[in-house]
Amino acid sequence: MPIDNEQRSGLSFLNDRLIAGALAALALAYALFMLLGLRARVGHYDFSTFYIWSSALRAGLNPFHSHSDVDAMVSALHLQSAGLQVTVVEGTKSGLPLDSYTPIFLLLFEPLTLLGTAGAYWTWTFINAGLFGATLFLLFGRAPRLSTAAKISLASLAILYPPLGQNFFWGQAQIPLLFLIVVAMRCLESGRDAAAGLAIALAGLIKVFPLAVLPYLALRRRWRAIGYTIAGLATGGIVSLVMVGPERSIDFVASYAGRSFFNDERFSMSIGSHVWRLHHLLTGNMAQISSVEAFTIASIAGVVMIVLAALATRRESSPSATTDPAFGLWIAAIVLLTPTSWLVYLVFLIVPYAQLAFSIDRFSAPRRAVWLGIASYAVAELAPRAAHLFNPGGSPAIAMFWQEVYALSAVLAFASAYYLAMDLAAASQPSMKQA
């Protein structure tokens, strides 16, 4: 008896139970290895930064006032013996830029500081683990066409994804944002625009860059979602003013508004940082870029990405699609357009990867999108291992080269999501016209 396309799956390789079992075993082993390794990371950077800032906020200090006050805050808070890492490589002070995380994030993190360094660290780690598990359930557990073996395989590949391990290694905060982004995506798919808007608002109140999905909502004419996003942001702003105080809230806004599009971070994957590194390679000048030519190049690249994402979003999505690939396209664009984009940000690419997998399952994914997506995942898997193997001495020049390789993964993911959105929309046009 022939099997129709509604029953068949394009993920035949991942549907194999032996493959699923092997991937699950690898993912479990990797998770346990990572968990054991985290014992040496208690109180280390970046977690230490969140802890110090939130402790300062709880004590009535202003963590947004000056990046050079870390020692003073540690001394005032009597945290010298708390096992917190205050210095990082090359003797620089601990702390991401003080505008990296919002007053709302510090308020949410603040209760953990009551648990002490170790208690806060492990609570934060397991909160992230739980939210990532919930993210996988929302992505794959609610995909009715996928077999159990395919769901296990895809979830295992997500766990084995190196940027995920980097998030746990640094004690970073991108996993809660990923969870909120996936919540918003699923709510939009089911027509719950109010919940989607509130999820986006909360993500934007934790870190500002998730609000870059608002153009997607506008192009899709999801005005109700935009309205609830604005309402959520306004509510969060009032909470910040009341609980954090006007002075500290204004200091954060002023610091964030003063951020440069160009960033001289060697390991950022943003377009501005790419231009900085290119400038360094060509001139040997490590100074911050200020030339008109460099700004123009980076601006043009950013505008091109936004225009491509907008063009793909303006097309009607396929009525048979279980998810809108244009949403994943904007997520991939955010990774490249955020002023400071670290390797940990690649964890957001799990969203367009998942959308590509859903399309492959339905035999609707264009070949070029498939191969670009596979290449993106492969680069992210292999680059960290190759960097460790071929740069044991930690040469800055070699490290910068591998950073460009990491960034290639984000570029490939953007290209994959773009072709997926454009080709699916084009393929749906004849059927929509006939209807």
Best mean pLDDT range from 198-207, 360-369, 380-389: 198-207
Rounded Cα gap, residues 151 and 112, in angstroms: 33
Amino acid 355: pLDDT: 94
User: Domain check: are 179 and 204 in the same one?
Assistant: yes
Spatial distance between the Cα atoms of 155 and 140, rounded to a whole number of angstroms: 7
116 torsion bin: left (phi>0), alpha (psi -120 to 50), beta (else): left
Rounded mean pLDDT of 370-377?
95
Position with higher pLDDT, 292 vs 17: 17
Give the chain's mean pLDDT. Answer: 82
Instruction: Report the range of poorest mean pLDDT among 30-44, 131-145, 387-401, 414-428.
Output: 387-401
Evaluate whether 271 touches 404 at the Cβ level (below 8 Å). no
- pTM, full prediction: 0.89
- Lowest pLDDT segment from 238-247, 276-285, 379-388: 276-285
Structural domains counted in the chain: 2
Does 324 lie in the same domain as 381?
A: yes
| 91 pLDDT above the threshold of 80 | no
The pLDDT of residue 121: 94
Asked if 299 and 252 sit in the same domain, the reply is: no
Same domain, 215 and 235: yes
Q: Are residues 252 and 267 in the same domain?
A: no
Among 211, 226, 259, give the residue marking a domain's end.
Answer: 259
Between the two ends of the chain, the Cα-to-Cα distance in Å is: 30
Q: Which of 221, 236, 259 is the last residue of a domain?
A: 259
Evaluate whether residue 79 is within a structural domain: no
In a domain? residue 33 = yes
Tell me whether residue 49 is in a domain: no
> Are residues 423 and 348 part of one domain?
yes
User: Residue range 410-428: average pLDDT?
Assistant: 87
Query: What does 3-38 look like in DSSP terms, one character per residue?
Result: --TTT--S-HHHH-HHHHHHHHHHHHHHHHHHHHHG
Same domain for 312 and 166 = no
Judge whether residue 46 has pLDDT over 90: no
The answer to whether residue 66 sits within a structural domain is: no
Give residue 129's pLDDT.
Answer: 97
Last residue of a domain, one of 240, 259, 278: 259
Range of the domain at 239: 11-42+97-259
Cβ 409 vs Cβ 383: under 8 Å: yes
